[in-house]
Amino acid sequence: MTKVHERFLKYVAFDTESDPESEMCPSSPKQLKLGAYLVEEMQAMGLSEVGMDDNGYVYGIIASNVPEGTAPKLAFIAHMDTSPDLSGANIKARIVTNYDGGEIVLNADYGIKMSPKEFNHLSHYVGQDLIVTDGLTLLGADNKAGIAEILSMAEYLIGHPEFKHGPIKIAFTPDEEIGRGANLFDLARCDADFGYTVDGGEIGEVEYENFNAASAKIKIHGSNIHPGSAKGKMKSALLIGMELHSMLPTFENPAYTENYEGFNHLNDFSGSVEEASMLYIIRDHDMAKFETKKAMFKEIEKFLNYKYGEGTVDIKVTDSYFNMREKVLPHYHLIETVIEAMKQLGIEPLVVPVRGGTDGARLSYMGLPCPNICTGGHNFHGKFEYIPVQSMEKTVEILLEVVSRYSNWIAK
């Protein structure tokens, strides 16, 4: 059998960064290269009905080996793309073996170091083996670790026919990082009663609550005049953008929030005096507060257009996904089963809200209840991303234990 971390290291060699500016699916054709590789691996492994559709979604099935009707159809889902927040090309991953608890030099040439003074969770992994980058790219544990863990589970099930399990549906999606992972998901092809995304953080995490999410795309139209004769004439799109930002609550941004606290995050701001563009992401677990945040942007738009002239500011607010809590709670056995599985394996469950979103949020609203399970990684989307080898191995054990517990489960 291929070790889970060896499988993971093969996957991170594929650059699968998604592109938020593209209208295609997948948004970056390079995601198809990993998809094709996974199809070949799954076919060689012995999964059935394996294939990748025209939109880059990969599907496969492990047939049940228990009597029909004994066990539900379980889906396990992860995404292939990596975040556009940092380059996913030419990832130089290495393993820090038997981590000693001190500072890790990621890149001596650039003076990039990762310290437990800044990331105190490093202290949890003394004596373990940590996969890190060279500090110039992200690692891609979000979510190639999830893919590796799901396929390691699959390889074990196929190689151990004595291990009893119901029908297992596997799916890998493109473009999750740009909020489109479930857009073209084929529920008929991944026909399951319920499922799990394997897209969480540190070992033990279980998540069934996520942000309600929207984006605010803003265009500001200014009027450029030579600064020597600009009095009473110039209208700076950049300054109006700064004014717009100042009208939002100061402490409702990611740097000041945690747990269930929402935020307005200025993700992009570019332009000139003549024209500027801004992109905010709007997040809140509470639906009423979420709606208030969105309404605030429209009120600001109205005020600025009154102040500077109609058509100066154009704000388009678009919903992305919603909190999956209400769709998962009627199937709370999904959470209870994972918690019991973790306890059986000596892992402390950490039931936490997702301060982000997963494909599972959208899939839950599409009719496939789908909470999220840990991958074992930390510091996603940045150069300090890392994942302990032992956490990946434990995640595979969690998945197998969950499958086992559903092998003779009968819905009440």
Active site residues: 81, 176
The tokens for 260 are 């269930």
Helices (H), 126-218: 141-159
- How does strand 275-284 pair with strand 263-271? antiparallel
Q: How far is CA 205 from CA 126, 181, 291, 298, 346, in A?
A: 20, 21, 28, 36, 14
Could you check whether the bond before residue 26 is cis, i.e. omega within 30 degrees of 0?
yes
Could you check whether the bond before residue 90 is cis, i.e. omega within 30 degrees of 0?
no
Buried/exposed code over 270-280 (b: 16+ C-beta within 10 A; e: otherwise)? ebebeebebeb
CA distance 390 to 116: 19
| Share of the chain residues as helix, strand and coil, in percent rounded to the nearest 5 | 30, 25, 45
CA atoms within 13 A on the CB side of 115: 5
Q: Any residues with CB less than 8 A from the CB of 398 and at least 6 apart, and which?
A: 338, 341, 342, 345, 347, 373, 374
Residue 162 CB neighbour total at 10 angstroms: 5
Fill in the amino acid letter for 221: H
